[in-house]
Structure 1
Amino acid sequence: MIEAEILAAWHDHLTHGRRRSPHTVRAYVATARRLIATQEQPPRDWATLAALDVAALRTQLAGRRAAGIGQVSAARELSALKAFMAFARGQAGLPAAAPRLRGPRVKKGLPRPITPDEALHLTQTVGEDAAEPWIAARDMAVLLLLYGAGLRIGEALALTPAILPLHDSLVITGKGGRQRLIALLPVVRDAVDRYVSLAPWPLPRAEPLFRGAKGGPLAAGMIRRVMARARTLLGLPPSATPHALRHSFATHLLGAGADLRSLQELLGHASLSSTQIYTQVDAARLLDVYRTAHPRA
């Protein structure tokens, strides 16, 4: 078995067996490729890979740290290494257990939402900054899906015209193939409908709904770039990213009285602990308001 076959099997397992996102698949396959490349004798079969010890993994991580990656990236690299080694052991007929190797401690930062006014101004500025009316409508529709419906950017860009015509709710397939039902506000539906009415490209039901300037699928990087321009124009911090709109959706709903279980379902979180972080965000926001407004704060 050659390296390409090993990586192809790993890619197939992540994509179809684990249903990981394309971004995760690329990162995990790249980690496996680096591990194989650092071995003096390139592994030719699963048994050889499975025999790699903790020292080999530490060497791999040390090399990555020397290349300048930070704590978070190192933790992700270790997670990918453990998953790959567990897969290799399973392929070699051994118990598919990940090697015991402690990674760097990563302090979890709180999501940084933006205010409702900032979200509104961002979408308006993105529209005003666009080169053509249909592109303005497209960008505003995507951003409103993030802020008004809590979608991840990948989920928004994976939508197809098969969802049309839009109704009050929509079934979204998120991470791990998990499906959830989301509510669509009239302003979100109107924004998508306006984009569809102005789009200069045919929109077959099985192809991406949102298109780039040349008619191909719209890339997430383009949405990040237009939002970066808008936040610069508005003087907002670098934390005002497309994903921050999803954080804002969650924080503002929680502040309006939504319960955690409902919020978990709307966001598509597999674990309630992922949703609970927004209770800290909301508390931090309230404390900030208190310190600003209270005369004895």
Structure 2
Amino acid sequence: MSTLRQRMTEAMVLRGFAQRTQETYLNCVSKLAKHYGRSPDTLDTAAIQAYLLHLITERKLAYASVNQAVCAIRFLFAVVLGQRDTAFEIPMAKVPQRLPQILTRDEVARLLNNARDIRARALLTTTYAAGLRLSEVCSLQLSDIESSPERMCIKVRQGKGGKDRYTLLSPRLLDTLRFYWRVARPTYWLFPSRNGTPLDDRTVGRFYHAAREAAGIPHGGGIHTLRHCFATHLLEAGVDIHTIQRLLGHGHVSTTQRYFHLAQSRLTGTTSPLELLMPG
């Protein structure tokens, strides 16, 4: 490991960055160094901005990916290299605000029923039933399933922002997990790979897309769609926004409020002001 990489890693660890964030930042800086063929601490502002333009115009990366690179580069220069007072302005790209795709309850049921095997079905069911992120479902341990009648919850360890939280463990999900355990017999990780480590993101993504295709649901979005469905379906069922916020682990309720735009029953069940006008 190079000295600069080691310094950056240590700086992120000291600030409590999640492991996934550390990997993303290091990967972004590594790609920058590879692009120019030299250490990134020798680059100036013009070179950085030319690289970001390259990502947008030639690599055709999404603005969200470009913004990840911006954050990583800012951290490197401002925190690791201590160049806070230099004229180093890197603009953040404006990310288009698009509403995520939401599946109906019937579509979710079809998707779960078309999972390739019991492990895939249990994993996808857990993701939807508990509203988990991809990284959260992959890192679940057996001990995180608290199934006593007094508890009936799932502990999410080190979610986004490095925070622990609890979310729902429904009786139907518990039955699914118990059946899965009797078949697969996991010992530590709830969803281990063949070599005993947690399943990787790509494998889980393949589970989702295979089930979606088998269910005849048009392509669109990834497994994170199930988390969006969890929140939207709860809102449509009348669960209050603050409860959903806590279950999702959102730091601000404003993040959760976008699901108001996705709850069809709230939209289609609303009376138009035209109907309130006096007849004639």
Query: TM range, normalised to the smaller chain?
Result: 0.7 to 0.9
Deviations 1:212-240 (A, max 9, x none): 34554322322211221221122212225
Superposition map of 1:1-297 within 5 A: 4-15=2-13, 17-22=15-20, 24-38=21-35, 42=39, 49=41, 52-65=43-56, 66-89=58-81, 92=82, 95=84, 99-126=88-115, 129-130=116-117, 136=118, 138-163=119-144, 166-167=147-148, 168-173=152-157, 174-200=159-185, 203=187, 207-213=188-194, 215-239=196-220, 241-282=222-263, 286-287=267-268
Matches of 1:197 and 1:97 in 2, distance apart?
60
Which residue of 1 is the match for residue 278 of structure 2? none
Amino acid across the alignment from 1:175: K
Deviations 1:53-112 (A, max 9, x none): 4323202212323233233322322222222222224xx4x5489943223322111121
Name the SS of the counterpart of 2:102 in structure 1.
coil
Matches of 1:16 and 1:288 in 2, distance apart?
50
Contact kept in structure 1, 2:77 and 2:84, CA below 8 Å: no
Contact kept in structure 1, 2:28 and 2:72, CA below 8 Å: yes
Q: Which runs of 5+ in 1 are unaligned?
A: 44-48, 131-135, 291-297
Distance 1:97 1:198, change over 3 A: farther
Contact kept in structure 2, 1:75 and 1:104, CA below 8 Å: yes
Count, aligned residues: 266
Per mean C-alpha deviation after superposition, the further-off stretch among 281-290 and 104-113 is 281-290
Q: Which runs of 5+ in 2 are unaligned?
A: 272-280
Matches of 1:245 and 1:112 in 2, distance apart?
10
The share of aligned pairs that are identical, in percent, is 28
Shift of 1:12: 3.6
Select the structure that is richer in helix: 1
TM-score when scaled to structure 2? 0.82
Alignment RMSD (CA, Å)? 2.9
Distance 1:171 1:98, change over 3 A: farther
